[in-house]
């Protein structure tokens, strides 16, 4: 049993069994936070929390009195009844009021912050099943935030995505915070200026991206209406890699179509070849360029958002390295690490892809004190270690 560090704050992580969620849970635990995890396990396994608990036990072997607690609730964040009973467990009892005037009867909680990862995230699926995406990603978040507000839990970190920038082909430059290729909509940015966002000719390219953009706009309006809220939206670029221990990695139930999971399936022989979607982009080697960010750096960005945001209001940040890597460069880096050739074939471009998508994360560094520490080579090295640990000698020999 893990004794809880009773003085440490509680952080609620929704979707904490997923790829980025589990890495964030691990970083929170190392930083001494008690972590409450909610996950419906629709695209993850609860065993990842067992592994993290074992890692936490070892990490605090010499200082067991500081060891934080991890508690997993297998529940859907859209289940209002389940969420209510969970939040009640961490409610600070309201002192008996001599008269209603004397005491603030509003609920208060031991939960000092929430990080919200839970969402459907497959771009292609979102085009085929938009209502599933709007119901879960947008409708679910609206009801959940409403409930959090009732319990006085108003520090919220939201998992957004660089997809809100849509196809930036018409901008054609490294992304900047102030650019969002969206419909012509005013948008309250982090410094409070109302900026007419860059209405890119193409706008957002898919329902998934639009759910992220809508959630940002909703959260911005919520913080505008109720200044007790501190809301931080983090726009991820391309998360890859895994914890250096090799014990945590990308392990979804569904078959991810992102580049690195596909590369791994080619390495393990589950796929015969990596299809590269186009080599006719305006990039150095013709293949598309992305800002690949190590998932540990990304997880630490969430802790920075929790720690650094002492003000109220809505702010949005890019979480990326600022360095672009092409598909062929990723393949080359992975080949160097695993010591084997990765068979590839060039095919046509994938619908909705852009040639370049690279972050400008200046404000995250200036305001959150966060920047990436790892590079593409360390991402590949850590992924390979995960494969060795998880798949064992069977396949790495």
The active-site residue out of 90, 208, 236, 281 is 208
Task: Report the nearest approach of ligand WQD to the CB of residue 277 (Å).
Answer: 4
Stretch that binds ligand WQD, among 23-31, 99-107, 253-261, 307-315 (CB under 6 A): 253-261
Name the helix (H) or strand (E) containing 74.
strand 70-74
Binding ligand WQD (rule: CB under 6 A), the pick from 353, 378, 388, 389 is 353
The residue from 36, 70, 242, 259 that contacts ligand WQD (CB under 6 A) is: 259
Binding mask 292-331 for ligand WQD (x = CB under 6 A): -----------------------------------x----
Length of the chain: 397
Q: Considering the rule CB under 6 A, would residue 359 count as an interface residue with ligand WQD?
A: no
- The residues near 61 (Cβ < 8 Å, ≥ 6 apart) are none
Tell me how crowded residue 187 is: count the other CB atoms within 10 A of its CB.
18
What SS3 class is residue 179? coil
| Range in contact with ligand WQD (rule: CB under 6 A) among 57-65, 95-103, 166-174, 269-277 | 269-277
Q: Write the binding mask 203 to 242 for ligand WQD: x where contact by CB under 6 A, - elsewhere.
A: ---------------------------------x-x----
User: In angstroms, rounded to a whole number, what is the distance separating the alpha carbons of residues 357 and 72?
Assistant: 35
Interacting residue with ligand WQD among 262, 342, 389, 390 (CB under 6 A): 262
Closest CA to 379 of 334, 318, 336, 342: 334
CB 349 within 8 A of CB 282: no
Instruction: Specify the stretch interacting with ligand WQD by CB under 6 A; choose among 109-117, 148-156, 225-233, 251-259.
Output: 251-259
Closest distance of CB 235 from ligand WQD, Å: 9
Residue nearest to ligand WQD (CB): 288
Residue 28, token pair as written in the block: 């929170």
Among 224, 350, 360, 362, which residue interacts with ligand WQD (rule: CB under 6 A)? 350
Bridge partners, residue 36, by sequence: 12, 71
CA distance linking residue 18 with residue 31, whole number of Å: 19
Rg (CA), the chain: 21
Site for ligand WQD in 71-110 (CB under 6 A): none
| Shortest Å, Cβ 34 to ligand WQD | 28
Nearer to ligand WQD, 4 or 350 (CB): 350
Closer to ligand WQD by Cβ: residue 59 or 277: 277
- In angstroms, give the least distance from the CB of 388 to ligand WQD: 22
- Candidate list 72, 115, 153, 276; residue touching ligand WQD; CB under 6 A: 276
Query: Long-range contacts of range 306-312, CB-CB < 8 Å, 24 or more positions apart?
Result: 306/11, 306/113, 306/115, 306/155, 306/157, 308/367, 308/368, 308/369, 308/370, 309/155, 309/230, 309/232, 309/368, 311/230, 312/223, 312/227, 312/228, 312/229, 312/230
Sheet containing strand 155-161, edge to edge, reads 70-74, 34-39, 10-14, 111-116, 155-161, 230-236, 313-319
Give the number of residues in contact with ligand WQD, rule: CB under 6 A. Answer: 18
For residue 167, the 8-state DSSP code is -
- Footprint of ligand WQD on 157-186 (CB under 6 A): 161, 163
* Cβ neighbours, 10 Å, residue 166: 26
CB of 101 to ligand WQD, least distance (A): 48
Is residue 90 flagged as an active site residue? Answer: no
Query: Looking at 58-66, 172-180, 273-281, 362-370, which segment touches ligand WQD (CB under 6 A)?
Result: 273-281
Catalytic residue positions, numbered: 208
Residues lying near ligand WQD in the complex (CB under 6 A) are found at 121, 123, 161, 163, 236, 238, 257-259, 262, 275-277, 288, 290, 327, 350, 353
């Amino acid at each position: 049993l893990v004794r809880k560090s009773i003085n440490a704050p509680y952080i609620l992580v929704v979707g904490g069994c997923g790829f980025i969620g589990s890495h964030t849970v691990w970083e929170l635990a190392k930083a001494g936070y008690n972590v409450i995890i909610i996950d419906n396990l629709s695209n993850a396994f609860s065993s990842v929390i067992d592994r993290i608990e074992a890692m936490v036990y070892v990490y605090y072997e010499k200082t067991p009195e500081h060891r934080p607690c991890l508690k997993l609730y297998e529940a859907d964040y859209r289940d209002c009844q389940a969420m209510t009973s969970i939040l009640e467990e961490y409610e600070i009892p309201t002192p008996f009021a001599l008269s209603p005037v004397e005491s603030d009867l509003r609920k208060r909680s031991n939960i000092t912050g929430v990080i919200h990862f839970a969402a459907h995230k497959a771009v292609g699926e979102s085009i085929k099943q938009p209502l599933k995406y709007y119901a879960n990603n947008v409708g679910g978040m609206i009801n959940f935030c409403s409930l959090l507000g009732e319990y006085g839990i108003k520090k919220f970190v939201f998992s957004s995505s660089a997809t809100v920038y849509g196809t930036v082909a018409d901008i054609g430059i490294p992304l900047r915070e102030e650019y969002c290729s969206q419909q012509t909509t005013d948008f309250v940015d982090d410094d409070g200026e109302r900026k007419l966002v860059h209405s890119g000719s193409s706008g957002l390219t898919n329902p998934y991206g639009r759910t992220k953009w809508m959630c940002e706009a909703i959260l911005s309006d919520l913080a505008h209406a109720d200044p007790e809220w501190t809301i931080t939206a983090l726009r991820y670029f391309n998360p890859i890699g895994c914890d250096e221990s090799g014990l945590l990695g990308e392990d979804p139930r569904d078959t991810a179509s992102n580049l690195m999971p596909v590369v791994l399936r080619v390495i393990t022989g589950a796929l015969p070849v990596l299809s590269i979607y186009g080599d006719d982009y305006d990039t150095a080697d013709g293949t598309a360029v992305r800002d690949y960010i190590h998932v540990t750096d990304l997880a630490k960005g969430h802790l920075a958002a929790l720690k650094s945001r002492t003000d109220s209001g809505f702010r949005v940040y890019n979480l990326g390295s600022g360095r672009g890597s092409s598909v062929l460069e990723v393949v080359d880096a992975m080949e160097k690490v695993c010591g084997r050739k990765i068979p590839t074939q060039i095919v046509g471009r994938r619908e909705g892809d852009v040639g370049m998508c690279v972050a400008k994360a200046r404000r995250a560094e200036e305001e959150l004190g966060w920047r990436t520490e790892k590079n593409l080579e360390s991402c590949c090295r850590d992924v390979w270690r995960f494969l060795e640990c998880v798949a064992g000698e069977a396949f790495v020999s």
